[in-house]
Amino acid sequence: LPREEYLRMAARIPGVYVPSFYDVSYHADGTIAAIEPKEGTGAPQTVYKALVSDLTCAEYPEKLIVPYGEGVHDRIMLEIFRGCTRGCRFCQAGMIYRPVRERSMERLLELAEKLVCATGYDEISLMSLSSGDYSCLPELAREMVRRFAARRVKISLPSQRIDNVLTDTLKETQKVRKTALTLAPEAGTQRMRDVINKGVTEEDLIRSVTDAFEQGWSAVKLYFMIGLPTETDEDVLGIARLAGLVRSCYLSLPKEKRAPGLRITVSASVFVPKNFTPFQWAAQLRGGEVARRQQLLKHELARIKGVDFKYHAVDLSYIEAVFARGDRRLADVLERAWRLGCRFDGWSDQFRYDLWRQAFEECGVDPDFYACRERPDDEVFPWEHLDAGVSREFLLREWKKAQSAERTQDCRKGCVGCGMRRYEGACR
């Protein structure tokens, strides 16, 4: 088929977006005035996301390509369910992958058996946005351990919310080999956790790590973010205080009950505002201020024995923020950066910030316009003609609530009006 005819056919498929079929007009200040479909293309005014309603019946790979070299995820990644109802305001996936759809336990066990036989991997990671919320998690973990323990296949969970009661599940998953317990408080103070709608408390963290230490863990990883909207130095230092509390929980146990070799890893990423989230209106902190807060935390954590601090490169997070809310004018920048030699930017030794800056300058694009500018409430976004399920009205309400540190309940406890009900049968 001729390319134009093929694109016209594709544009008629629900969930398919053809960028060339839309015209974008701009205000004098560079913000978008309107996004309209071109006449005669048949492109819809709004492109609605495609939705897999039944995850159990959906196709899932039963054979994987196993590389000769060791990969980053050198294991079987088994998606147990999709979507999340928690409503963390920084989390794009938690917004756009709604609603929650679980894959049945029977299908998961069938897939696990096939994938272990096909790959020879010795680890299965039970993946989702919040794996502790899977309704049959204890039963699933218990049965997987029973089936695969003799083959020395470990069952693992990704980073967990610290308000989940996972004690029994964690006991099961660690029967083969014990790994570090990974928890995600995300912020160092309760005020900041309310801003991002994390919905966990200091007491939740203390309970979780105490239970883990009592069961024989000695390695804990804690994930946080630096540069969240309304963050202060007190919030940053709160991360160090939480790390100190975790250490105190370990030391509070009788010596004979502690597993040897306490290791606490504090990992702090740089906040990147994302589209289709309540923080799509927020600005990213400028690099110098982010670096100052990183050093402030590093100095404070250095006082706590047994804590290792890891943090993200400021420049790389800045480029991520530019493209996270960028528009089609960045296409020329992307091509120019590639032609200048930008490759494999996810590897720190390959990232060339100087070449990226050169690409922006040569294309006449100001990256701060995309990364470091707080948006007015009524600004038209580059993705305004795309519908990921959650409504703009809901996201704006959440942005206002974040600024006053006001919580929104988990929608399992009652509808919060996010907009997903527009998709017939999506929320059950």
What pLDDT score does 74 carry?
85
Given pLDDT bands bounded at 50, 70 and 90, which one contains residue 385?
A: very high
Residue 237 has pLDDT above 50, yes or no: yes
- Determine what percent of the chain is predicted with pLDDT higher than 90: 74
Pairing of strands 181-186, 22-26: unpaired
What pLDDT score does 164 carry?
56
Least confident of 4-8, 198-202, 361-365: 198-202
Amino acid of residue 107: R
> 3-state class of 34 per DSSP?
strand
What is the pLDDT averaged over residues 270-280?
A: 97
Given pLDDT bands bounded at 50, 70 and 90, which one contains residue 176?
A: very low
Residue 252 has pLDDT above 70, yes or no: yes
- Determine what percent of the chain is predicted with pLDDT higher than 70: 94
Residue 168 has pLDDT above 80, yes or no: no
Strand order through the sheet with 307-311: 181-186, 219-226, 263-270, 307-311
DSSP sequence for 7-27: HHHHHTSTT---GGGEEEEE-
Q: Which of 237, 252, 277, 273 is nearest to 399 (CA)?
A: 277
CA distance 37 to 18: 10
CA distance 104 to 97: 18
Mean pLDDT across the chain: 91
What is the pLDDT averaged over residues 238-243?
A: 97
Given pLDDT bands bounded at 50, 70 and 90, which one contains residue 180?
A: confident
What is the pLDDT averaged over residues 352-380?
A: 97
CB of 134 closer than 8 Å to CB of 102: yes
Highest mean pLDDT among 28-37, 65-74, 168-177 belongs to 28-37
CB of 56 closer than 8 Å to CB of 24: no
pLDDT in tens, 45-79: 999 999 998 999 999 999 988 888 777 778 999 99
Given pLDDT bands bounded at 50, 70 and 90, which one contains residue 111?
A: very high
What is the pLDDT averaged over residues 104-131?
A: 93
Given pLDDT bands bounded at 50, 70 and 90, which one contains residue 131?
A: confident
pLDDT in tens, 203-217: 988 988 998 888 888
What is the pLDDT averaged over residues 133-153?
A: 90
Residue 246 has pLDDT above 90, yes or no: yes
What is the pLDDT averaged over residues 70-96?
A: 90
What pLDDT score does 181 carry?
82
What is the pLDDT averaged over residues 157-170?
A: 60
What pLDDT score does 156 carry?
85
Residue 25 has pLDDT above 50, yes or no: yes
What is the pLDDT averaged over residues 259-285?
A: 96
Given pLDDT bands bounded at 50, 70 and 90, which one contains residue 426?
A: low
What is the pLDDT averaged over residues 320-324?
A: 97
What is the pLDDT averaged over residues 104-119?
A: 95
CB of 160 closer than 8 Å to CB of 169: no
Q: φ, ψ for residue 218 (rounded to 5)? A: -135, 0
pTM given for the model: 0.90
